[in-house]
Amino acid sequence: MSIVITDLTLRYGQKVVLDDISLEIVGQRWTCLVGPNGAGKTSFLRALLGMAPYTGSIKDGGIEVFQNHKRNVAFVPQHPQIPQGMSVAEYVMLGRSKREGWGNESLASRSYVRKVLEETYLFGMQGNLVSQLSGGEMQRALIARALAQEPELILLDEPTSALDLHHQISVLNNIELLKEEGVTIISTMHDITLAAMFAEQIVIMKEGRVLLTGSSQDVIHSTELKQAFDNRIDVHTLDSGRPVIVASKREREEK
What is the contact surface with another protein in residues (CB under 8 A)? 46, 49-51, 69, 73-75, 77, 79-81, 83-87, 89-90, 93-95, 97-98, 102-103, 105, 107-108, 110-111, 113-114, 117, 126, 149, 155
Output 105 or 218, the one with its CB closest to another protein: 105
Q: How far is the CB of 82 from another protein (least distance, A)?
A: 9
Query: Please, which residue, 43 or 216, has the CB nearer to another protein?
Result: 43
Which is nearer to another protein, 69 or 166 (by Cβ)? 69
Dihedral over Cα of 198, 144, 149, 132: its sign = negative
User: In 90-123, which positions are buried (b, 16+ CB within 10 angstroms) versus exposed (e)?
Assistant: ebbbbbbebebeeeeeeeebeebbeebbebbebe
- CB neighbour burial string for 45-62, b if at least 16 within 10 angstroms, e if fewer: bbbbbbebebeeebebee
Query: Rounded to the nearest whole angstrom, what is the least distance from the CB of residue 40 to another protein in the complex?
Result: 16
* Residue 113 C-beta: closest distance to another protein, Å: 5
Q: Across the beta sheet with 30-34, what order do the strands follow? A: 73-76, 153-157, 184-188, 30-34, 201-206, 209-215
The nearer residue to another protein, 107 or 165, going by C-beta atoms, is 107
CB 190 to another protein: min, Å: 19
